Structure 1
C-alpha cells in the first residue's frame, strides 16, 4: 500500500484526476478533507480498521444503496483519517469524506457503531447520485447548488439511518438565526460559483461566519420543502436547486 508514502499512493490516483499529474497536489487536496498523515498513530488506525473489516462492510453498504438508488458504479477509496485534525474529528465524529461525480473518498477511524459509517457513506454517495442526476457540470455549481447538495445529502442520512446520525450542525442554529443569515449574507450571493473564494467561505462558515453555515441552511431549506411538498429520494437526485427555495419561509 505504500502506507508511509502517501505521495506514492496518490501517484496511482492521477488517472482518476484528469488533467492533474502532480500527486503531491492530489494528496494536499485530500488532506483538506481528512486523509491521514503517515505516522505510528495512523498506522495503528489502519490496522484497527482492517481488523474491523471496514473495507468489506463498506462494500456491502455500497451495494445496498447502489441498488436502492440505482446509483452509478464508482471506485471508492478508503483511508485512515488524520486524527490530528481537531476540527474534522469533532465535526465528523471520527469520519470524513469527499465526493466526485465519478469517485468517492472516505477517511475513517475504527468507529464502533456501524451506523455512523453508513451515515457517512449515505451522505457522500447521495452527492455522487445527485451530481450524476443533474444536467450540470459540478465545476459550474453555484453556492445555491452546493447548499442544496449538502442539505439533501443529510436529509438522506436522517431518512435512512435516523436523525440521531445527522451532523450536529443540522441542529446547531434556530430557524430564526438561519433566516437572518439568509437575508443578510446569502440571498444576494446564491449565484456565485465554486471559483469564487466567497463560495467556500459561506458554505463552510469560514472567518467570522458561523461554522458550516451553508450546510445548516441547506438542511433547513430541505426541511421546509418536505413539510409542504411530496418528496421522494428519486426526486432529490434530479430536481434543480431553485425548486427547493420557492416555498422557503425566511
Structure 2
C-alpha cells in the first residue's frame, strides 16, 4: 500500500496556505487521514486547519497506545470514526474556552478517512466542502461555497449533531482512494502553452497512474500541470491518495 500527499498554496493566496493534512496510523491495522480547509473570510484560517490536524494526530496516537495496552470489544469502523470525532469535538471546545477563541478562529472543513487494512474496509466523512475519489468514482461535496463548519455546532449535543451528518461514504476492496479539499476544483490556466493538449486536473491527480511508483507522485503531477499544461490551483489544495 502506498500513501501519497501534497499541500500547495493557491495562486490567489499570498501569505499562508490555509489547508492542512495529516496521515497517522492507529495501532497496527488502521490508518486515519484528514484534509482541512480553513475559511478564507474568517480569522487566521491557517490556524484553525493546523489546530484540527494536530488534535487529530494526538487522538490517533492515544488510540494506538490504548490498543496496545487495553483489551476492548471490537467496534465497527463507523463507531471508531465517531469516537475520533467526539474526541475532536471535546478538545476543540476545551481549547476554545481555554484560549478564549472566537468562532471565526475555528472555521475549517474536515474530511476524515478511516481505513482498516486487516478487513480492507473504510469510511469517509466530509464535514463541509471537498472531493472524494473511491476506485475511480468521484464524489464532490459543495454547498455553494458556504460550508457547514464543525465550529458552528460546538454548543450542540454531539450525538444529535453526528446523527445529522449525511456526507458519509463506506467502501471496501480499496484500490485507489483519495480525499481532497475543494482547491482541486480551482485549477485555471496561468500561462500560455505551445500545444493543444487538454487535461482534467481532478482525474489526473486522483485516478491517473503516471509516476505511480514515485513517492512524489502528486508533487510531480502538480509540476506537470503547471509547466506543461500551464495550470495551477487558485485556491489552496490538500490531497491524500492511497493506492494498493
TM-score, normalising length: structure 1: 0.31
| Higher RCO (CA 8 Å, separation ≥ 6 residues) | 2
Higher strand share: 2
Q: TM-score, normalised by structure 2?
A: 0.32
As a proportion of its length, which structure holds more helix?
A: 1
